Amino acid sequence: MNINLIDTLLEEQPFIDTETKTILSNINYSQVLGQSIPIKDKSELVIFASHLDQINNEQYLRDGRSRFGNGYNGYEYRPSNKYRDAWNVFGLDRLIISKKLLEFFMYRCEIYSIKKLFSMSPDIFRGDRKDVSIRAYYIIIDKFNNLRESEDGYLVYGESGSKIRYGKFINMINEMFQNGDTMYHKYRVKEIERSVDLYKARFNTSDYKICVLTGEDILYGYNREYQAYRGDTMLHQSCMNGKQSYLKLYTKNKKKIHLLVITDKDDKIVSRNLIWRLKKYNNFLFDRVYAADNFIERSIRELAESENWIMRNGTASIDSIKKINNEDGTVESIPGKTIKIKLNFFGFIRYPYLDTMLYQRIWSRTLTNKRYNRFMWRYDSTGGNRKLRFFRS
């Protein structure tokens, strides 16, 4: 894919079904991100200990040191048996687990507790934590033997095929290891959220569709009636929800402002973000994401990075400006971090809250992310007004 992705989505512009109140699109989100993984590839079960030793043999492949002083550099295995020995010493080598799931726990989940479980050494059983650690491991082995994944993203365990959500499972593991240490749990909260996001992203992308709205259709993205409710998320709490009368700046500049929308399997909106067409750079500004799930936001940002779109960082600033050549696809980094876009403001009496392009010279029709010292409009009001600033305040 290239910079034409947005144009392609606009050409296949989804239509709004006013009867069923859904946004329709034929573009599958997993196809866009390339993250679709056949479920059958995840079903291979392995005995944990033996497979782990193989993984570690591969992991310990390192550059060999120079030999005999002649500067020769080769590759050699540096196997380690400490992980396998721990499982054998304590009789914990009975766990049967999905190969894909094991690899995820080992290298992708980013959780200290799970990594400790699947790469433990005898040292972990020493000291005051010995009894707790051994008991925790035995609980996992006895209860969650034959651990695999279902097509809907659950963890399936035991011969009976009981199900548990990944987030609940990993929180349970975390509680086992914290052993009453509240600080331990506090420092693991973000790791758990990150791990759950990563896990969800492996399964759920096929359930979502991507489309780009323009003109009056943008208003649907700000209507809670069309949004999936998943708690008090960024999407649900957005200050512009239900304030369609403030959004004429978007609907009247349909060639320059678009709305990227993600819908779930029920055709409900789970994410939205503005896209500003910057003709000067033949590129798009990828604005703040309002999503109902963290993993969706993370995946969308990965899409933007893969397309070399310009992105805002945590604030209204821009980390880098990229100019894209459509003929050969080359990307040129432009000095400076200020972007501008000229828009039509004629006849507006209400204005939206803007996250990035929130400044405007009083005498200009250009929005920018650069804050001026004086004589500027500022678009950071949730009441439909723009603030006049003669001096910096």
Count of other CB atoms within 10 angstroms of residue 201: 19
Burial bucket for residue 125 (CB in 10 Å: 0-12, 13-18, 19+): middle
Distance CA 132, CA 278 (A): 58
Would 179 be classed as within a structural domain? yes
Q: Do 291 and 244 fall into the same domain?
A: yes
Which of 27-36, 116-125, 141-150, 207-216 reaches the highest mean pLDDT?
Answer: 207-216
| Banded model confidence at residue 92, pLDDT cuts 50, 70, 90 | low
pLDDT for the residue numbered 340: 94
Both 271 and 173 in one domain: the answer is no
Average pLDDT over residues 77-98: 63
Dihedral over alpha carbons 172, 178, 181, 185 (to 10 degrees): -60
Range of the domain at 12: 5-28+208-336
Which whole number is the average pLDDT over 61-89?
46
Report, as an integer, the average pLDDT of 240-260.
Answer: 95
Q: Residue 276: inside a domain, yes or no? A: yes
One domain, residues 172 and 245: no
Q: What is the pLDDT of residue 77?
A: 40
Q: For residue 102, is pLDDT > 90?
A: no
Tell me the angle at which helices 48-59 and 82-89 cross, rounded to the nearest 10 degrees: 160
Sign of the alpha-carbon dihedral angle for 298, 300, 305, 309: negative
Whether residues 53 and 149 share a domain: the answer is yes
Evaluate whether residue 34 is within a structural domain.
no
Q: Tell me whether residue 264 is in a domain.
A: yes
Is 324 found in the same domain as 307?
yes
CB of 337 within 8 A of CB of 268? no
Last residue of one domain, picked from the residues 314, 336, 358: 336
**Same domain assignment for residues 131 and 215:** no
One domain for residues 197 and 314 = no
In a domain, 343, yes or no: no
Per the structure, the count of domains in the chain is 2
DSSP designation for 256: T
* Helix pair angle (182-204, 166-178), 10° resolution: 160
The answer to whether residue 354 is domain-embedded is no
| 359 has a pLDDT exceeding 70 | yes
Mark whether 58 and 191 lie in a shared domain. yes
Residue 318 lies in a domain: yes
234 shares a domain with 196? no
Same domain, 193 and 213: no
Last residue of a domain, which of 204, 238, 271? 204
Domain ends where: 287, 318, 336?
A: 336
Asked if residue 358 belongs to a domain, the reply is no
Q: Is 169 found in the same domain as 282?
A: no
